[in-house]
Amino acid sequence: MRESYTYQLKLRTGDEVIFTADITADEVRILPQFANQAEFFKFFTERTKESDLPFIIIKIIKPPLVKEDDDES
């Protein structure tokens, strides 16, 4: 049985996902940059389907919203 470790991945949307999974740091480094949360979720659901240690999302950090300047109009 493998151990699970905690990782942080940045998605193309700017969201950062902090999660625990039974994969190595080397495996995390070669992962594609996921387009969004749904793509991330689908990949890890399939990847851990047969695992004793499924992945667990700990936190999703959204990027700050940028307020547009009113003076630019």
Quickly list DSSP for 25-51.
Answer: HHHHHTS---SSHHHHHHHHHHHTTT-
What local confidence, expressed as pLDDT, does residue 19 receive? 93
55 domain residue, yes or no? yes
What local confidence, expressed as pLDDT, does residue 51 receive? 76
What local confidence, expressed as pLDDT, does residue 69 receive? 64
Can you give the residue range of the structural domain that contains 17? 5-64
Q: Domain total for the chain?
A: 1
Identify the segments of the chain with pLDDT beneath 50: 1
- In DSSP terms, 8 is beta-bridged to 18
Q: Contact 57/6 with Cβ under 8 angstroms?
A: no
pTM passes above 0.85: no
26 domain residue, yes or no? yes
What local confidence, expressed as pLDDT, does residue 11 receive? 95
Residues in the chain: 73
What local confidence, expressed as pLDDT, does residue 72 receive? 54
60 domain residue, yes or no? yes
16 domain residue, yes or no? yes
15 domain residue, yes or no? yes
Q: Using CB atoms within 10 A of its CB, is residue 40 exposed (0-12), middle (13-18) or buried (19+)?
A: buried
